Amino acid sequence: MEWMNRMNERVARWADRPHAERVLAGLSFAESSFFPVPPDVLLAPMTLAHPDRGWRYATLVTIASVLGGLFGYLIGFYGLELVEPLIQQWGWQPSYEHARELFTEYGLWIVFLAGFSPIPYKLFTISAGALTMSLPLFMVASIIGRGARFFLVAAFVIWGGEKFLQMERGWMTRMGWIAVLLAAIYFFLRS
């Protein structure tokens, strides 16, 4: 994962550039559908440099991320037509149908968790489209999950400053995995 750390560092250098907000919005959009670097890498240093703009940055990232998620949804929705014949040909139709049922039943929660947690959100945006999850529910889950994550990052950086920025990535990852674990326990106990 050394390449990922190097890429994160390169992205973080954009925080002090004149067009940083545009880069932040573009990164957030791209990360939701195909790019591997999370916008937190840029959101946190930008918020630290300009705490008075932290809420604005969090709003910008949330909007761009949800729009990127919609783009991922459309990739899944329209791209499935290309691979569906292969699913049938290779005998994966029963597994595909089972996944579709799970997404129908738990899709809202799955998308919310993916939006908030370290699970790659883009996988679920594309899957939601491929499995034809309700678009309004997808959007609601995305807005809440992504908004919670980015506003939490901004809040911690505004209130914790440089000290928080040093520990942000580890804590946000832990909080995300704890949310996933709690959801898994809930669904297990509910079954």
* Residue 75: count of CB within 10 angstroms of its CB: 17
Q: In the prediction, which pLDDT does 141 show? A: 92
Amino acid at position 75, single letter = I
Give 48-53 contacts, CB < 8 A, sequence gap 24+: 48/157, 48/161, 48/162, 48/165, 49/15, 49/16, 51/157, 51/158, 51/161
pTM here?
0.76
Q: Cα–Cα distance between 30 and 20 in angstroms, integer? A: 15
Q: Where are the domains of the chain?
A: 2-190
Q: Cα–Cα distance between 47 and 168 in angstroms, integer? A: 12
Amino acid at position 103, single letter = F
pLDDT tens column, 104-161: 777 888 888 778 777 778 878 888 898 888 999 999 999 999 999 999 889 988 988 7
Over residues 154-175, the mean pLDDT reads: 71
Label residues 90-103 b or e (16+ Cβ within 10 Å = b). eeeeeebeeebeeb
Question: 93 Cβ partners below 8 Å, 6+ apart?
Answer: 87
Residue of 104, 144, 102, 101 lying closest to 121 (CA atoms) = 144
**Residue 186 · residue 112 · CB < 8 Å:** no
Percentage above 70 pLDDT, the chain: 75
Of 29 and 120, the one with more pLDDT: 29
